[in-house]
Chains A and B, each alone.
Chain A
Amino acid sequence: MNSALPQLNPAPSGTGIERDFQKAILRLVKGGPERQAIEAGQIDAIIDPASGNSILLPEARRALIERKVGFRSLIGLAFDWYWEQDEDYRFVSHRGAGDDADGIAEEGIIGKTLWDLSIDNMSEADWRTHRQQLEWRAIFRDLELRHVDGGGEVRYVSISGEPVFDDRNHFKGYRGITRDITERKQAEALVQQPHRFDRAVLDALGAPIAVLDHAGLVLSANHAWRDFATNHAGVGTHVALGANYLAVCDDACATEQVDGVAIAAGIRQVIGGERALFRYDYSCDSPTGRTWLALSVTRIAENGNASAVVLCEDITERKRGELLLGLEFAVARCLANATTAASALQSVIRVICETQGWDCGRYFCLDQSAGVLRFDESWGVAGAAVEEFLEKSRGMVFRPGAGLAGRVCQSGQPLWIVDGARDAAVSPTALAPETGEYDACVFPVTTDDKVIGVLAFSASRVREPDDRMLQAVRSIGSQLGGFLLRQQAVDALRRSEMRFRVLNDLTSDWYWEQDSNFRFTQVVGCSAFGTAEILGMTHWELPNVVVADEGWAEHKSQLAARWSFCDFEFATVHSDGKHAYYSICGEPVYDAAGIFTGYCGTGLDITTRKREEIALRESEARLRALVAHSSG
């Protein structure tokens, strides 16, 4: 026998009561082995032959009590309350493991079913499901219930139960345990809170953002990304949560293939740590026209796992703005390089067409005197249809208010015909001669808000104008108008100069200029001297010039006084000894600051007149001599 086992031997440690009990027990047991076993302390209980009940011997009783206490202590660690329900699921007992209070229902739980209590997280459907479980006598585990206690605090409990049956297998109700899980739920809420906050921050961002794992799967995407996916075309724009972004890029085909390959390579480099940032701008065609997208990929490395954040922005507006700004610069450059209005118009129309992808453009000039718009200049892409269209335009004349050009001329506002019939005021039939089968953009050319002409562009597809486009056409119209106005003034000046030159040529033989020291700097048309011998010389330094001394003195004094002079006559002696005679006029020249810079003037060959005068004087002298001789 194992001496470590508890003995029921009454002597010497047993109490008097226990000894009496043992004697009574031994009287009940008749068999020798049983009695020996009892005396050896190897028996826990004796079966009462009358009732079948077990009579526990003291050691066994103590052991069972200790075990019960221990078990109760242990289960106290596992749950907070123990409960029992009757066959109608009404609570018949509800005890705390530590004999403390209710927990689940402060108003009293006995006699109530679970769904009679103030539980606020169970819907009707949830209760139906639970009751069905009970009807099936199923064990239910960890049913989480929420209620508000008397202090107004939200409490959570987890309740589990199992059906109870009697010896005849009749259902007697349920019994189970309840645990207060408020702290756990609060801790879970605290853990979840940062994630919810992060998510809210991500959703609050206006830019479309998605997070990819190392393989390219979209782990997370914000609201903007989802909206973006529904409204945009282009590589990667339709990749939803859970899809593989890299696979979509790899599988891009046709015109998107190049972009897809580049984007996939860039993302892999970022995830692989070869680069910290990958940026890529690309464009695609969408129902609303050309769309530009800017992709930005950055790396996240956490706990050894690399992932990538993809940001895809629609930069169409910015790109269009840049293109329009470029167009405005291009137009300005065309105008700066143009020498005539015609070349300016052609180059401007061309650069607009090429930038916007339009087929052709025409300029109608407002004839102020006749009060009509007349076809002036045009440019178009190569092609029979465009050439035919432009050819038909030649000779077109519009009154203000008539036709597209006339309406724009009258209103001073741009006009767009997109899909023809969209403008209810313009019938497609009426448009046909003006726009052909094209959409149209017509805008005024102005100067000081006054329309001086109209530019009309046509294309098979014209985009609906936005504010930036309208701003651009107004700017271009104004630039072109200013140029044309200045060009008109230049042309007028040029014509005036031409007339002046012709008149000047009629009244003088040559033109000359001197610097502030009276040295010739330019001589045009002079037959008296060669250009080489006159430039850099003053008048009085020229060879073979014959002027009386007093004549030079007077002329120099006039020059010194900055006087204008007229008909200063001089003669030159030719190699044959004959004289030639000239008369010059001049006036002082001042710069913008009023500083004297020299003289300019004209010269006239008066040899013939002078010789005739000399001949006449000689003739008169001879005649006078004859008269004197005859009278004398």
Chain B
Amino acid sequence: MVRKRKGRGESDPAATTIVVMALYITDSGPNSVRAVANLEAICQEHLKGNFRLEIIDVLQHPLRALADGIVVTPSLAKLSPLPIATVVGNLSDKSGVLRALGIVGSTG
């Protein structure tokens, strides 16, 4: 399963920075489900639509995870803006996620 989501502010990319992310999950594993929910909440609160998210089910796309160097699921990879950062786990550590995403000043 590959799901791609776009934020609403994408229509004016010059105005704000678009955060491009990939979330690797395992079907409906409990931590995967939790990770999706946690990330959705963070994006809604802090990115205001200025993001692009691809959700990849490694059960359906095992080669994709291998190629991207993913070791465990769930794992979140921030691809843009640089630097690339990876967060593993169910993303319940909100401040860690925000730091990885480069959202400065957030307290989570």
Chain A positions near chain B (C-beta within 8 angstroms): 1-2, 5-6, 29, 31, 33-34, 37-38, 40-47, 49, 51-54, 56, 59-60, 63-64, 67
Bound CA span A302–B30, Å: 57
User: Which residues on A sit within 8 Å (CB–CB) of B79?
Assistant: none
Contact stretch, chosen from B7-15, B47-55, B59-67: B59-67
State whether B31 touches A47 (Cβ < 8 A).
no
Chain B positions near chain A (C-beta within 8 angstroms): 25-32, 34, 58-59, 62-63, 65-66, 70-74, 86-90, 92-93
State whether B71 touches A46 (Cβ < 8 A).
yes
User: Which residues on B sit within 8 Å (CB–CB) of A53?
Assistant: 62
A1-B93, A31-B71, A42-B89 known; A52-B66 Cβ under 8 A:
yes
Within 8 Å by CB of A54, from B59, B87, B93, lies: B59
User: Which residues on A sit within 8 Å (CB–CB) of B90?
Assistant: 1-2, 5, 42
State whether B30 touches A47 (Cβ < 8 A).
no
Bound CA span A260–B87, Å: 86
A2-B92, A54-B59 known; A45-B26 Cβ under 8 A:
yes
Q: Which 3 A-B pairs have the closest CB atoms?
A: A44-B29, A42-B89, A52-B66
A1-B92, A52-B66 known; A47-B72 Cβ under 8 A:
yes
State whether A47 touches B92 (Cβ < 8 A).
no
Bound CA span A60–B30, Å: 6
18 examples of A-B residue contacts, CB within 8 angstroms: A2-B90, A5-B34, A31-B88, A38-B72, A42-B31, A42-B74, A42-B88, A42-B90, A43-B72, A43-B73, A43-B88, A44-B31, A46-B73, A54-B59, A60-B31, A60-B32, A63-B30, A67-B28
Bound CA span A20–B86, Å: 28
User: Which residues on B sit within 8 Å (CB–CB) of A67?
Assistant: 28
User: Which residues on B sit within 8 Å (CB–CB) of A64?
Assistant: 26-29
B58 nearest CB neighbor, chain A only: A54
Within 8 Å by CB of B72, from A34, A51, A52, A59, lies: A34
Bound CA span A158–B70, Å: 44
A62 nearest CB neighbor, chain B only: B30
Separation in Å of the A30 CB from the closest CB of chain B?
8
User: Which residues on A sit within 8 Å (CB–CB) of B66?
Assistant: 47, 49, 52
Of A47, A63, A67, most B-chain CB atoms within 10 Å: A47
Separation in Å of the A90 CB from the closest CB of chain B?
27
State whether B70 touches A47 (Cβ < 8 A).
yes
State whether B92 touches A60 (Cβ < 8 A).
no
User: Which residues on A sit within 8 Å (CB–CB) of B63?
Assistant: 52
Other contacts beyond A44-B29, A64-B29: 10, CB < 8 A: A1-B92, A5-B34, A33-B87, A33-B88, A41-B31, A42-B89, A52-B66, A54-B65, A59-B29, A60-B30
A2-B92, A29-B71, A54-B73 known; A43-B31 Cβ under 8 A:
yes
User: Which residues on A sit within 8 Å (CB–CB) of B72?
Assistant: 29, 34, 37-38, 43, 45-47
User: Which residues on A sit within 8 Å (CB–CB) of B86?
Assistant: 33
A41 nearest CB neighbor, chain B only: B31
Separation in Å of the A167 CB from the closest CB of chain B?
9
Separation in Å of the A626 CB from the closest CB of chain B?
180
Within 8 Å by CB of B89, from A43, A52, A60, A63, lies: A43
Bound CA span A51–B93, Å: 30
Bound CA span A551–B89, Å: 169
Bound CA span A162–B44, Å: 35
A60-B30, A60-B31 known; A44-B62 Cβ under 8 A:
no
Bound CA span A43–B26, Å: 9
A45-B26, A64-B29 known; A34-B62 Cβ under 8 A:
no
Separation in Å of the A102 CB from the closest CB of chain B?
31
Separation in Å of the B59 CB from the closest CB of chain A?
6
State whether A6 touches B30 (Cβ < 8 A).
yes
State whether A44 touches B93 (Cβ < 8 A).
no
State whether B58 touches A47 (Cβ < 8 A).
yes
User: Which residues on B sit within 8 Å (CB–CB) of A56?
Assistant: 26, 29
Of A1, A44, A45, A59, most B-chain CB atoms within 10 Å: A44
User: Which residues on A sit within 8 Å (CB–CB) of B58?
Assistant: 45, 47, 54
